[in-house]
């Protein structure tokens, strides 16, 4: 991570299941009245509640990002003992070198040597959720016999969750990858949780509010600058950033708040759509892919 915070994106969204959704609890409750596979719960001031851990969403986002980048040969395999960025890079390297030499997926989500820049908050129900219990069996592919089950599963079928993500010190192409991932989720290409091959896990993610903090209050109202444009020349080189890391011609923010050394610009969903579209163009440009 850079020493300073140059910019940061915060995206608030609602996540609505479009079919059965089950994020499995790691431990099964000893209560025999609860299903075998329970939806994960946590304790809040209001008592126990079903929730979607931010980490489970982050895992899904990362793996889609890797898939996209791998088609252009731009992401490491974190499980590859020799070639994963975290293995390849030496411990004594400074953060700038680690960042510069890491693949694009690791630049966003981190590796064993480099801290990630993307963070997901846990998602909590917005109003009432409707859950159902479904029964399932697993059939062994080899013997065509029941391999596991019957078991019952607790699934969410109605309602929605509210969550947020934060990306600090971003380059603009990273917003493009984020936009692409959100699109893939909404197209049903990326599913969340358990039972993807049972048709579970299709969700819709709708951004509700976006704020972009920037350390330069003099950035024109219709522009958005990534770290490559914001950092001094020496740092740009050490981190391997590009100077033309910015977007222009964006709709003005719905609100602008001065926060001392920072300016915070707030965008509505339409504003985010414009940022998403333009940052996707930037991503194609950076990856050298024709649109
Ligand atoms: Zn990597």
SS3 282: helix
pLDDT of residue 92: 67
Q: In which band, very low, low, confident or very high, does the pLDDT at 289 lie, cut at 50, 70 and 90?
A: confident
Domain-embedded: residue 1: no
Q: State which residues have CB under 5 angstroms from ligand 1, the bound ion.
A: 76, 85, 103, 106
Cα(80) to centroid(ligand 1), Å: 10
Cα(94) to centroid(ligand 1), Å: 16
d(CA 114, CA 89): 10
Q: Assess whether pLDDT exceeds 90 at residue 33.
A: no
Cα(112) to centroid(ligand 1), Å: 10
Cα(242) to centroid(ligand 1), Å: 19
Q: Assess whether pLDDT exceeds 60 at residue 7.
A: yes
Tell me, yes or no, if the pTM score tops 0.85.
yes
Cα(152) to centroid(ligand 1), Å: 38
**Mean pLDDT, to the nearest integer, of 148-167?**
91
User: Exposure string (b/e) for 32-47, b if CB count within 10 Å is 16 or more?
Assistant: eebbebbbbeeeeeee
Cα(223) to centroid(ligand 1), Å: 30
pLDDT of residue 71: 83
Domain-embedded: residue 18: yes
What percent of the chain is predicted at pLDDT more than 70? 93
Cα(72) to centroid(ligand 1), Å: 13
**Residue 249: domain span:** 7-287
* β 146-168/47-50 pair status: unpaired
Cα(106) to centroid(ligand 1), Å: 4
Cα(111) to centroid(ligand 1), Å: 7
Cα(87) to centroid(ligand 1), Å: 9
d(CA 112, CA 91): 10
SS3 139: strand
What percent of the chain is predicted at pLDDT more than 90? 71
Cα(167) to centroid(ligand 1), Å: 17
Residue in the structure block whose two tokens are 């892919």: 289
Look at the chain and report how many structural domains it folds into: 1
pLDDT of residue 173: 97
- How many CB atoms within 10 Å of residue 127? 7
d(CA 119, CA 108): 10
**Mean pLDDT, to the nearest integer, of 146-175?**
91
SS3 286: helix
Domain-embedded: residue 220: yes
DSSP codes joined into one string, 204-263: EEEEEEEEEEES-TTS-TT-EE-HHHHS-HHHHHHHT--TT-EE-SPPPPSEEEEETTEE
Instruction: List Cβ neighbours of 141 (8 Å cut-off, separation of 6 or more).
Output: none
Q: Assess whether pLDDT exceeds 60 at residue 234.
A: yes
Q: Assess whether pLDDT exceeds 70 at residue 30.
A: no
Q: Are 162 and 120 in contact (CB under 8 A)?
A: no
Closest C-alpha to 178, from 266, 275, 95, 86: 275
Cα(77) to centroid(ligand 1), Å: 7
Q: Are 82 and 88 in contact (CB under 8 A)?
A: yes
DSSP codes joined into one string, 29-95: -S-TTS-SBPBPEEEETTEEEE-B-HHHHHHHHHHHHHHHHHTTT----TT-TTTSHHHHS-TTS-H
Q: In which band, very low, low, confident or very high, does the pLDDT at 143 lie, cut at 50, 70 and 90?
A: confident
């Amino acid at each position: 991570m850079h020493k300073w915070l140059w910019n940061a994106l915060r995206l608030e969204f609602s996540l609505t299941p479009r079919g059965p959704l089950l994020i499995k609890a790691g431990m099964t409750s000893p209560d025999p009245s609860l299903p075998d596979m329970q939806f994960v719960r946590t304790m809040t001031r209001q008592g126990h509640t079903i929730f979607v851990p931010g980490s489970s969403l982050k895992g899904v986002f990362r793996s889609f990002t890797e898939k996209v980048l791998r088609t252009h040969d731009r992401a490491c395999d974190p499980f590859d003992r020799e070639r994963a960025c975290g293995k390849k890079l030496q411990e004594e390297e400074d953060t700038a070198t680690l960042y510069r030499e890491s693949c694009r997926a690791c630049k966003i989500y981190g590796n064993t040597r480099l801290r990630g820049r993307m963070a997901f908050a846990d998602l909590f129900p917005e109003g009432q959720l409707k859950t159902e219990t479904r029964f399932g069996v697993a059939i062994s592919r080899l013997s065509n016999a029941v391999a596991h089950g019957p078991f019952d599963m607790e699934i969410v079928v109605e309602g929605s969750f509210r969550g947020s993500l934060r990306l600090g010190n971003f380059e603009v192409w990273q917003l493009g990858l984020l936009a692409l991932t959100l699109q893939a989720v909404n197209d049903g290409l990326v599913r969340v949780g358990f039972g993807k091959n049972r048709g579970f896990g299709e969700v819709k993610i709708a951004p509700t509010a976006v704020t972009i903090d920037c350390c330069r209050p003099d950035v024109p109202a219709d522009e958005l600058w990534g770290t490559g444009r914001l950092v001094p020349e020496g740092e740009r080189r050490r981190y391997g950033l590009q100077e033309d890391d910015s977007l222009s011609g964006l709709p003005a923010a719905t609100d602008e708040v001065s926060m001392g050394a920072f300016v915070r610009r707030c965008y509505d969903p339409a504003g985010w759509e414009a940022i998403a579209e333009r940052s996707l163009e930037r991503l194609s440009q950076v990856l050298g892919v024709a649109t």
